[in-house]
């Protein structure tokens, strides 16, 4: 632990991978996101997905409507900037990419292999059919965000990220060497090593759960549904490597919570949903992870600088202060239609908290 640092003021962070969902869910998720983050890259796997600029504008308008109706402070409302992504399908065109690049609101394009995760049925079935789209992404310098797993039934779920690197990533980079790519929510030492071995056009986001937990936390003593996410938690050895690279000060790794809300009854079910909800407590979670290896002083780069630099955006000027004072994570949050939302580490106490403004 870093005993000398009891309070730390950092530049306001951005979340480069978050699920806000849609419609009534936004009343909960948008205020939670806006309290801590300025820019948030909003995932497009809605029902129906965000497939073009028109969809993106409409989704952003719905987000902003819920922000205005919330109890978030005027200062945070003014700072919050949801950045849109397009859902890459087999029918996405180069013109869709051109319009996205010109829109001013679309920050990236997201590739889900079909069937890889929640609401990914419309995802890409053949990477080789995306040549025109990838050429357009290169041309307009629009990053490709990858859910990096193969989805073949015969591939073990714990090996899917490694197989994606070997079978898909290598091909994409060889054919499109200048395309900016973010390997989303990496979970293995293989992915960390791969990102380190590539040029500056390849980066990665890392979630709080993959820094703090491994598959023992998910499975020992009974299945813990609120630790279940995709890509799934891996061995402790992989967790340690992720923590090493996240706290290393290397700008190729930055914050992406992959915060993914599911109503509690949908998580605690016979066929539970994949996703961990961390939007409201993400910064104390990351602070706890960094402090566990004595690297709390490296937090600002990971949370507030490196992502903005990768995307070619200015770093934020506002600040937020975390303090080495314990906080208890709520057992649940009210969600829509009378349901509840259970956060990651519900009911547990973290050593770090966000200092409230007087």
Active-site residues, by number, are: 258
Residue 230 annotated as part of some ligand binding site: yes
91 is in an annotated binding site: no
Residue at token pair 């797993």: 149
DSSP state of 350: E
Distances from the Cα of 11 to the Cα of 8, 240, 245, 246, 304, angstroms: 10, 26, 21, 17, 6
Cβ(252)–Cβ(317) below 8 Å: no
242 is in an annotated binding site: no
Report d(CA 86, CA 84) in Å as an integer: 7
Whole-angstrom CA distances from 224 to 51, 214, 216 are 34, 12, 10
User: According to the annotation, is 19 in a ligand binding site?
Assistant: yes
Distance between CA atoms of 109 and 52, rounded to whole angstroms?
10
Q: Is 185 annotated as a binding residue?
A: yes
Nearest to 44 by CA among 81, 84, 8: 84
Confirm whether residue 211 is marked as ligand binding: no
Using CA atoms, how far residue 192 sits from 182, 283, 311, in Å, is 12, 22, 19
Q: How far apart are CA 110 and CA 146, in angstroms?
A: 6
* Distance between CA atoms of residues 185 and 18, nearest Å: 11
Is 17 marked as binding a ligand?
A: yes
Residue 305 marked in a binding site: no
The response to whether 144 counts as a known ligand-binding position is no
Which residues touch 262 (CB under 8 Å, ≥6 apart)? 273, 275, 277, 341
Encoded tokens for 288: 């706890």
- The response to whether 217 counts as a known ligand-binding position is no
Under 8 Å between Cβ of 110 and 132 = no
Q: Which two tokens stand for residue 43?
A: 């995932």
Both structure tokens of 204:
């990665």
Query: In the chain, what is the straight-line distance between the N-terminal and C-terminal CA atoms, in Å?
Result: 28
Could you tell me which residues are annotated as the binding site for substrate? Answer: 19-21, 45, 147, 230, 262, 274
Could you tell me which residues are annotated as the binding site for Zn(2+)? Answer: 17, 19, 110, 147, 185, 258
Could you tell me which residues are annotated as the binding site? Answer: 17, 19-21, 45, 110, 147, 185, 230, 258, 262, 274
């Amino acid at each position: 632990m870093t005993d000398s640092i009891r309070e730390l003021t950092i530049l306001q962070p951005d979340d480069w991978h978050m699920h806000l969902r849609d419609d009534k869910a936004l009343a909960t998720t948008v205020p939670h996101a806006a309290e801590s983050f300025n820019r948030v890259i909003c995932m497009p796997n809605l029902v129906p997905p965000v497939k073009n600029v028109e969809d993106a504008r409409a989704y952003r308008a719905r987000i902003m409507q819920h922000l205005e109706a919330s109890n978030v402070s005027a200062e945070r409302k003014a700072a919050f900037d949801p950045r849109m992504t397009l859902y890459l399908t087999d029918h996405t065109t180069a013109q869709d990419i051109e319009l996205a690049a010109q829109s001013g609101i679309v920050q990236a394009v997201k590739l889900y292999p079909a069937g890889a995760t929640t609401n990914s049925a419309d995802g890409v079935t053949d990477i080789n059919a995306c040549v025109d789209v990838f050429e357009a992404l290169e041309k307009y310098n629009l990053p490709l965000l990858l859910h990096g797993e193969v989805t073949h039934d015969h591939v073990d779920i714990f090996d899917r990220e490694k197989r994606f690197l070997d079978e898909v990533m290598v091909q994409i980079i060889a054919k499109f060497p200048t395309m900016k790519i973010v390997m989303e929510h990496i979970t293995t030492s293989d992915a960390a090593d791969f990102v380190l071995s590539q040029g500056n056009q390849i980066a990665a986001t890392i979630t709080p759960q993959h820094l703090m937990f491994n598959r023992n936390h998910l499975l020992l003593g009974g299945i813990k549904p609120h630790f279940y996410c995709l890509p799934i938690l891996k061995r402790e050895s992989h967790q340690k490597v992720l923590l090493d690279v996240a706290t290393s000060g290397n700008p190729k790794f930055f914050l992406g919570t992959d915060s993914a809300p599911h109503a509690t009854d949908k998580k605690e079910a016979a066929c539970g949903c994949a996703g961990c909800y961390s939007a409201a407590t993400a910064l104390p979670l990351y602070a706890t992870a960094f402090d566990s290896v004595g690297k709390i002083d490296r937090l600002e780069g990971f949370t507030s600088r490196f992502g903005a630099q990768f995307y070619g955006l200015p770093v934020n000027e506002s600040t937020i202060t975390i303090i080495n004072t314990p906080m208890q994570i709520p057992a649940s949050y009210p969600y829509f239609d009378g349901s509840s939302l259970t956060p990651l580490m519900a009911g547990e106490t973290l050593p770090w908290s966000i200092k409230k403004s007087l």
